[in-house]
Structure 1
Amino acid sequence: MYWPKLPTATIREKVFEALNKNLNYNTEPILGLPGTYLDQEQFYNFPFLKEAAFLSVLVNNPNHIGCHTYSDGEKYFSGTQQLEIDLLRMCAVEILGAEESSYDGYVAPGGTEANIQAQWMYRNYFIQEKNAKADEIGVIFSEDAHYSVYKGSNLLGIHPIVVKVDHVTRQIILDDLKEKLEDAYNNGVRYLIVHLSMGTTIFGSVDSPTSFIKLVKDYFKDYFVHVDAAFGGFIYPFSAQNNELDFKNPEVSSITIDGHKMLQSPYGTGVFLCRKSLIEYVQTKEASYVYGSDFTLCGSRSGANAISMWMILMTHGSDGWAQLIQQLINRTNYLCDALDQMGVKYYRNPDMNIVTIDSDEISKDLAEKYYLVADNYLNPRWKKVVVMAHVNKELIDSFLIDLKKERNVAASF
């Protein structure tokens, strides 16, 4: 896992070089494109834009429609598209263990679309290659998985199959998995999408693929494995000693990873990655006016989003990013050590920065003071702390002091 750290001036220079390779709406005789620069009544051509690389890309408004790892994209924006290709290589090869040129992907508006993109791709594969019907296809996932799985199954007309988890370990209950697989098969499901999580939204829990897939093979010969690493993708590969949920595992066929969570890029920066050529099953051939065709759910998308992620990764380099992640893990360890001393019940994967506290251990007022997120606002059983970049030791200490006071008062009655 390696990519270089570049000086700020070099990053800026490379972004402007890429931007200069794009068509310029101000200087080129562009008549046919249904797009232009951002509205100049609101987004002025300020002098500082000459130094602000990301904002300059945003104002110039390049469209990154298509999948540039699989086919040529719109030639009008080839400069910034090349930086997206470089970003995808860093994510797929350096972070998630793929071989060079063995993957396809694009920068999606977020993890929800990327997860649905995977379901769409596999559904179409089963229909086109196996003559499957939609109602013969299921997607199986743990009860802790992100709600986008439900969205995708609803949109695509495939069966959602939910597996219970142990409420202490947050791992799937194998007996329930076996029961759900049997039920699915007996009810006519013959093709399966296995949705595993690298860091669930509420708990930060990480699914163990080996036992899950072993049982799947007992019932289904046709299946694909998708990994939702929307939250964990920019932390778990750096903090875990052994990551079984990346492309080094031959069972894994696609991965979602979000920039607008751990990477601190703007919202709208998810990434979808899959093994080479699978993405052809979501080609929209009717998009005949799009150079290189389209393979994405969203269609048109801002090139600025991809540039923001590329800039952040190049600012830190792989070593610098690993150091930042270790700092977050250390702060999370500090929080958990204090909770242990107080006897507070919580769940935490040791390689993640999410600490989910039993709701009986903390008052509603204190949870609201520190904006803790509940698993269910109508009937909360858990409330989570996420140790993000802004969560420093002082903020953690403030929370711990308040929590200790609250528990001392409760103990006095």
Structure 2
Amino acid sequence: MSREMTTTADDRATALFGNRFLTEAAPSTHFPDSGMTPLDSLRLVAEDLAMEGDPQRNLATFVTTWMEPEAQRIIAENLHRNFIDHAEYPISAEIEQRCVRMLADLFNAPGETTGCRTQGSSEAIMLGALSLKWKWRERRTAAGKSLDQPNLVFGGDVHVVWEKFCRYFDVEPRIVPLAENKYTIGPDDVRPHLDENTIGVVGVLGTTFTGHMDDIRGINDLLVALKADGGLDIPMHVDGASGGFVWPFLYPDSAWDFRLEQVRSINVSGHKYGLVYPGIGWLVFREKSDLAEDLVFYENYLGKTDATFTLNFSTGASMVLAQYYMFVRLGREGYTYVMRQMQQNAKALADNLRASGRFEVIGDDQEQLPLVAFRLKADHDVSYDESDVAWQLSAERGWMVPAYTLPPDAQDVKILRALVKETMSREQVDRLTQDIEDACQTLDQKGGAAQVEREQVKQGSGY
């Protein structure tokens, strides 16, 4: 049989029974010379993704991993709709502003305000911090003072995007260090770093490290007193990326938002506890005047004059519409139910881990995100550490539970952190508890990388 006839037969068999990438490497370095059928393309991508972790077992990410079929339908049917084209898609733009007004209400804004959707909290933080800088420049210019050396004060418990902002936009970061058993910041930590060049102070509502909040009320009181006594009017921005959709429902009497005088802007991630797929974030100002007008651009080449305040431009309308779906689907009652359910399961997990006798649970008696931060007790088997537990748990059962050290000056503290999500049942909480115990029992027998490292250091070999 000729080579041409064999090839044709192979092609027919592939088309009938499978696809050629069962035995060939997938395209990865060169742009393909030819295409393939839709089914082959689908199978190729699906087979690659089959090697990834299960998002439902990913207890590391704060990002939403499940939505109702109706919400998924809204997303799928509007992927082609470019949100930024307000002239062509005015309803999408109106729905964005409905969401902004609802968030302003949720965050107790005193009157008419403004805000926008963003590509996650990272863009919201960049825009909010830029407005802090521009408003500081306005105040300094009006007073005839220098615009040199602006600084921004925040704790070591912030997301890395705050340091990115300072580097990208030429602002001095004044980072308040943490300490062992002190993983958030308060007014006494902030006060020494403030001066007339401070564009603002950042308070975190639900840190990514332990899930707790900075003493936002205490910092606000300090800033109010400074304004009254010394004339320094320093605004505060609240990074509510995770906590902005938690505190209003779990701790409604806890004042952290626009009820506090110096809180002028808040960011929140819709794709975290806002219960929407990535990526959608929100930036809300206390008053319209808190947004620096010079940062708003007016353009008319899309059909009419539009005002835009964004770092990104083209983006799909799907997630804005999905966020509105969630607001009207759940309302305050529904969000409260979901948050309490997650909180109850987080408490159950914390109780289980504490009862095991192996772990110390960090700060679950305080206001906290629905998560469990924990570490091995001081008298634990030193042949392994938290990183070994995380690795063994992933290897044995597929759970993704991160282990990491805390920021300076608490860098000697290593913890594990498990997020408890909407889709996590009590049965799964109990299963996770047992899987953690099984992982520790395995490590009891074989030790972990921590023991190997100590032996190598002892022998002088290192890695």
Q: Which amino acid aligns with 1:353?
A: P
1:158-173 alignment, distance < 5 Å: 158-172=171-185
* 1:225 and 2:236 are equivalent in the alignment: yes
* 1:62 and 2:72 are equivalent in the alignment: no
Q: Name 1:308's counterpart in structure 2.
A: 322
String of CA shifts for 1:1-50, please: whole Å, max 9, x gaps.
Answer: xxxxxxxxxxxxxxxxxxxxxxxxxxxxxxxxxxxxxxxx99xxxxx99x
Q: Which runs of 5+ in 2 are unaligned?
A: 1-36, 39-68, 448-463
Q: Aligned-pair distance for 1:379?
A: 8.0
Q: Name 1:150's counterpart in structure 2.
A: 163
Q: Aligned-pair distance for 1:55?
A: 2.2
Q: Distance in 1 between matches of 2:427 and 2:291?
A: 46
Count of residues paired in the alignment: 350
Q: Aligned-pair distance for 1:75?
A: 2.6
* 1:124 and 2:134 are equivalent in the alignment: yes
Q: Name 1:14's counterpart in structure 2.
A: none
Moved more, 336-345 or 77-86: 336-345
Q: 1:282 to 1:325 in 2, by over 3 A?
A: farther
Q: Distance in 2 between matches of 1:62 and 1:207?
A: 37
Q: Name 1:16's counterpart in structure 2.
A: none
Q: 1:220 to 1:288 in 2, by over 3 A?
A: farther
Q: Which amino acid aligns with 1:345?
A: E
Q: Name 2:114's counterpart in structure 1.
A: 104
- Out of 207, 213, 221, the residue aligned to residue 220 of structure 2 is 213
Q: Name 1:374's counterpart in structure 2.
A: 403
Q: Which amino acid aligns with 1:366?
A: V
Q: Is the CA contact 1:123–1:134 (under 8 Å) kept in the aligned structure 2?
A: no
Name the SS for the 2:213 alignment partner. coil
Q: 1:172 to 1:166 in 2, by over 3 A?
A: farther
Q: Name 1:79's counterpart in structure 2.
A: 91
Q: Which amino acid aligns with 1:116?
A: M
Q: Aligned-pair distance for 1:167?
A: 3.1
Q: 1:210 to 1:276 in 2, by over 3 A?
A: closer
Q: Which runs of 5+ in 1 are unaligned?
A: 1-40, 43-47, 66-73
Q: Distance in 2 between matches of 1:150 and 1:393?
A: 38
Moved more, 123-132 or 79-88: 123-132
Q: Distance in 1 between matches of 2:186 and 2:202?
A: 15
Q: Name 1:329's counterpart in structure 2.
A: 343
Q: Name 2:74's counterpart in structure 1.
A: 53
Name the SS for the 1:293 alignment partner. strand
Moved more, 284-293 or 146-155: 284-293
Q: Aligned-pair distance for 1:297?
A: 2.2
Q: Which amino acid aligns with 2:361?
A: Y
String of CA shifts for 1:305-338, please: whole Å, max 9, x gaps.
Answer: 2101001221222211211111001101111122
Q: 1:83 to 1:173 in 2, by over 3 A?
A: closer
Name the SS for the 1:106 alignment partner. strand
Q: Aligned-pair distance for 1:404?
A: 3.5
Q: Name 2:372's counterpart in structure 1.
A: 355
Q: Is the CA contact 1:191–1:222 (under 8 Å) kept in the aligned structure 2?
A: no
- Out of 340, 345, 363, the residue aligned to residue 360 of structure 2 is 345
Identity percentage over the alignment? Answer: 20
Q: 1:76 to 1:358 in 2, by over 3 A?
A: same
Whichever of the two has the greater Rg, that structure is 2
RMSD value, Cα = 3.1
Q: Is the CA contact 1:115–1:228 (under 8 Å) kept in the aligned structure 2?
A: yes
* 1:92 and 2:69 are equivalent in the alignment: no
Q: 1:380 to 1:390 in 2, by over 3 A?
A: farther
Q: Is the CA contact 2:360–2:376 (under 8 Å) kept in the aligned structure 1?
A: no
Q: Distance in 2 between matches of 1:245 and 1:179?
A: 22
Q: Aligned-pair distance for 1:259?
A: 0.9
Q: 1:327 to 1:207 in 2, by over 3 A?
A: same
- Out of 256, 259, 266, the residue aligned to residue 255 of structure 1 is 266
- Out of 371, 385, 400, the residue aligned to residue 433 of structure 2 is 400
String of CA shifts for 1:387-409, please: whole Å, max 9, x gaps.
Answer: 11232222221221233455568
Q: Distance in 1 between matches of 2:297 and 2:184?
A: 41
Q: Which amino acid aligns with 1:84?
A: E
Name the SS for the 1:103 alignment partner. coil
Q: Aligned-pair distance for 1:158?
A: 0.9
Q: Aligned-pair distance for 1:222?
A: 2.6
String of CA shifts for 1:57-92, please: whole Å, max 9, x gaps.
Answer: 222x13336xxxxxxxx3321112111111112211
Moved more, 372-381 or 308-317: 372-381
Q: Is the CA contact 1:346–1:357 (under 8 Å) kept in the aligned structure 2?
A: yes
Q: Name 1:283's counterpart in structure 2.
A: 295
Q: Which amino acid aligns with 1:249?
A: L
Q: Is the CA contact 2:217–2:260 (under 8 Å) kept in the aligned structure 1?
A: no
Name the SS for the 1:194 alignment partner. strand
Name the SS for the 1:128 alignment partner. helix
Q: Distance in 2 between matches of 1:404 and 1:207?
A: 32
String of CA shifts for 1:94-142, please: whole Å, max 9, x gaps.
Answer: x211245x21111100101111111100111111332265543211111
Moved more, 331-340 or 251-260: 331-340
